[in-house]
Amino acid sequence: MIGVSSCLAGVKCTFRGDDNLIEIIKEMVARKEAIMICPEVLGGMSIPRNPCEIRNNKVIDITGEDKTMEYVLGAKKSLEILQKYDIDVVLLKAYSPSCGKNKIYDGSFTHTLIDGDGITCQILEKNGIMVFNENEINEFFEFIEKRRVENGSYFKG
């Protein structure tokens, strides 16, 4: 079993109220091979919602409102869900202030990317969960296929 960002499985939960569907991820959820998480929604954010970016270690929406508390809460709830199902690998949405891995937007709302990780990515990695984003989907599938071959399933060890 793996974890995936809900938007990648076709759930319309992005800040715009749309999705970032990857058909094979949706199929994995349908086959009960993947559990969906949306940290923003779990943290109490609405759909749609104002776009947010990380600036000075805080999550700020485009109007300047601090949304860090909601993002931290959503990350913690996501971690709890993944731990409940003993999941230690996830595929998250790139560049998101919550799910982004390796690159996130710089807080200027100009689509400028900088090195960094989103709040959920940080918390999951600190708790031993391996994080991939959809730009690393080939590596993600190689990882879970290797695990499946070695263990007979996507579950860890």
Number of other residues whose CB lies within 10 A of the CB of residue 134 = 20
| 89-92 vs 130-133, strand pairing mode | parallel
157 residues of the chain, pLDDT tens digit each:
899 999 999 999 999 999 999 999 999 999 999 999 999 999 999 999 999 999 999 999 999 999 999 999 999 999 999 999 999 999 999 999 999 999 999 999 999 999 999 999 999 999 999 999 999 999 999 999 988 888 776 555 4
Rounded to whole angstroms, how far apart are CA atoms 43 and 30? 24
User: Which residues on neighbouring strands pair with residue 89, listed in sequence order?
Assistant: 130
Instruction: Provide the pLDDT for residue 39.
Output: 98
Cα separation, 38 vs 45, whole angstroms: 10
CA distance 22 to 93: 11
The one-letter amino acid code at 28 reads: M
Q: Sketch the domain layout of the chain as residue ranges.
A: 2-151
Helix (H) or strand (E) holding 125: helix 119-126
- Residue-level pLDDT at 148: 80
Which residues are within 8 A (CB) of 46 and not within 5 positions of it... i.e. 6 or more apart?
A: none
pLDDT at 157: 47
